[in-house]
Chain A
């Protein structure tokens, strides 16, 4: 057994590998933990087990549109949001007008995907803390979203649905009623979740005051999304740097309150996600009201995509935070460079900063609360 003597305390410490086949590292993440008893003195995340050369592949494609399916595979839990950023980047490069109906459908899909992603994130977080049943309740709801997606796109996980200035196919006629029905049935479930899990005494004991991320540290590490908002910073790209048609909708940015513990603890990050689902429902309702019934979603799709020489950085709000695409074009048919700024990667890097001195059980809570997807970390 590998043991080291700590220079500071003189205690015998044990080096232990958490992962890559550990049940609660959310994929193939390996954490090298140095333990003094059960207290963690050092953490080193080891990544790269799911590296699929997304950026290099993107350069090899002979068409910009062929990169879209690969963006799906980055964060496979919120594939629609990954596509959204990429197509917006291309539309801005090509200076294309997007039909209104397309924009509305995109927003509805993106917000549904956000709910689905949060459901998985919250459910898996509960599972990490030993709450098995909420996970399955949430999965039932996620299943309903995936059923709607399956009818719209033909796929349940990796959709390849958004196209540049359009969509791959139009939605089916019952799309509006299906979605409205889902919104209606889902609202009460959030309250149920709060009763069962969010305000459960044991759950609060396990998450409050754990993995506290102060505002300053969060900003220094360039955190974004629910992780940053959990620390009390009101920053949401849908409001602060509106893309698509998000400026048309009325919604709030939920932030952490430190209600049950310290501002920026695991519970705050969790609660921000729960509240965001409610806001997403509001956006979906407004979008369903405003969505035009007529219009061809494929008419504006360009035959060939040859952007002018230049570069662009477009950032969008995915369920995990700020996803940025930095694309350089050299006038040819394939992109010269596609760089993705993945929020999970950034959030993982602050793990050592917020988990020092905690217990192994807390480590599980912290990893769960920053809600990483390894596909996005490694790309």
Chain B
């Protein structure tokens, strides 16, 4: 498909490649926001949205979106106007741009770059910048505190994320996410298990656990949702935002969550590979399996959110610097040894 589109016209190709992830993100965000509220309701013995649209309030997110579009766009008097307006879009752009290298199915990846993993990690670092931008530009002390916390948190947690991703890269020997996925096809482990990296050696299981904890922190989910912890910092860097700009933050947050979950699915759970070998395989089934794996991780993240309390900022740093980072590097070295021996 990639080749087919680029035969028509280069600009058309770019537009098509930009539209596909955008559609996926928008549809996903509408479903995920509704889904999160439903899951929260299920966990908390209540119903969640039930009215809008008839069946279990399925249209709630659409109604919310329409409401947010109509809201007045408030910019605080002493805010740094340009940065204030720019920050939400930059945040969304950062996670959106990273979708370019995600292989959605065996037939489709936005851009087949050899340094896919590297590009993805680099682009998502821009999220930190946009959050600091939002926190500083709001000219609000709570926002500033939220922004600073977020910067500290994301910079710290990038280290274990990258170290655990490196573990996979070490085993796969490639930074191209498509190649990484292709290496995981087949069902050879113990005769029936798929060749996913998580089953391939014990250190990759540890790597996945570190990776998952780190992406919880990277995407600001409980128990690491300190930048926007509503009971301490009011709403963190989002305090002064309203209407559509606030919606952009929400969208970016959900997009980021999906992005990191999909990355996890690609690196550890075989990406678009079917768990049954050749059965139910193929480009469309591949997309189905890929989204299923990614969304399962998203649901686990939601489940954790509605169960656990929140860490304090110094405890969060402690977990990162004195537990996860040493562990992830030891794990990296051990994986390298395993690769040499077997």
Chain A contacts to B: CB under 8 angstroms: 1, 14, 16, 22-24, 38, 126-133, 136-137, 140, 196-197, 200, 202-203, 205-206, 359-362, 364
Contacts and interface: CB of A to CB of B under 8 A. Distances in A.
Given A132-B306, A202-B308, A140 B45 contact: yes
Nearest to B226: A361
Listed residue (A14, A22, A130) with the most chain B CB atoms within 10 angstroms of its CB? A130
Given A131-B309, A202-B310, A360 B232 contact: yes
B223 A137 contact: no
Contacts of B45: 136-137, 140
Contacts, number: 75
A206 B309 contact: yes
Given A24-B232, A136-B45, A360-B232, A203 B314 contact: no
A303 B326 CA distance: 78
Nearest to B43: A133
Given A136-B44, A359-B312, A128 B141 contact: no
A129 B231 contact: yes
A203 B234 contact: no
Nearest to A361: B312
Contact of A130 (B40, B149, B231): B231
B315 interface: yes
B225 interface: yes
Given A16-B141, A130-B222, A140-B45, A203 B309 contact: yes
A136 B43 CA distance: 10
Nearest to B315: A205
Residue picked from A14, A203, A205, most chain B C-beta under 10 Å: A205
Contacts of B145: 38, 360
A206 B310 CA distance: 8
B313 A130 contact: no
B312 A127 contact: no
A361 B141 contact: no
8 contacts: A1-B141, A16-B141, A22-B234, A23-B231, A126-B309, A131-B308, A202-B311, A359-B314
A82 B139 CA distance: 44
Contacts of B174: none
B234 to A, nearest CB: 6
B46 interface: yes
Tell me whether chain A's interface is mostly helix, strand or loop, or mixed.
helix
- From DSSP, what is the main secondary structure of chain B's interface residues? loop
Nearest to A16: B141
B231 A127 contact: yes
Nearest to B229: A130
Interface string B26-58: 000000000000001001111000000000000
A140 B225 CA distance: 26
A24 B231 contact: yes
Interface string B179-211: 000000000000000000000000000000000
A140 B312 CA distance: 28
B296 interface: no
A133 B43 CA distance: 7
Q: Ordered nearest first, which 9 A-B pairs have the shortest CB separation?
A: A130-B310, A131-B309, A24-B231, A136-B44, A129-B309, A361-B312, A130-B309, A128-B231, A202-B309
A129 B40 CA distance: 17
Interface in B271-320: 306-315
Nearest to A362: B312
Nearest to A22: B234
A129 B223 CA distance: 10
A374 B315 CA distance: 31
A133 B307 contact: yes
Q: How large is the interface on B (under 10, 10 to 19, 20 to 34, 35 or more residues)?
A: 20 to 34
Interface string B206-247: 000000000000000011010001111110000000000000
Interface in B230-266: 230-234
A196 B231 CA distance: 20
A127 B313 CA distance: 17
A202 B141 contact: no
A132 B231 CA distance: 11
Contacts of B142: 16
A269 B227 CA distance: 28
Contacts of B225: 130
Given A16-B141, A137-B45, A38 B313 contact: yes
A206 B312 contact: yes
B242 to A, nearest CB: 15
B49 to A, nearest CB: 16
A38 B148 CA distance: 10
Contacts of B310: 129-131, 202, 206
Contact of A200 (B44, B149, B309, B315): B309
A4 B189 CA distance: 64
Nearest to B307: A133
Contacts of B312: 205-206, 359, 361-362
A360 B312 CA distance: 9
Given A129-B310, A130-B223, 7 more contacts: A23-B230, A23-B231, A130-B225, A132-B306, A136-B46, A200-B309, A362-B312
Contacts of B141: 1, 14, 16
Contacts of A23: 230-231, 234
A31 to B, nearest CB: 12
A206 B232 CA distance: 13
A130 B308 CA distance: 7
Nearest to B45: A140
A185 B297 CA distance: 36
Contacts of A133: 43-44, 306-307
A38 B306 CA distance: 26
Nearest to B311: A202
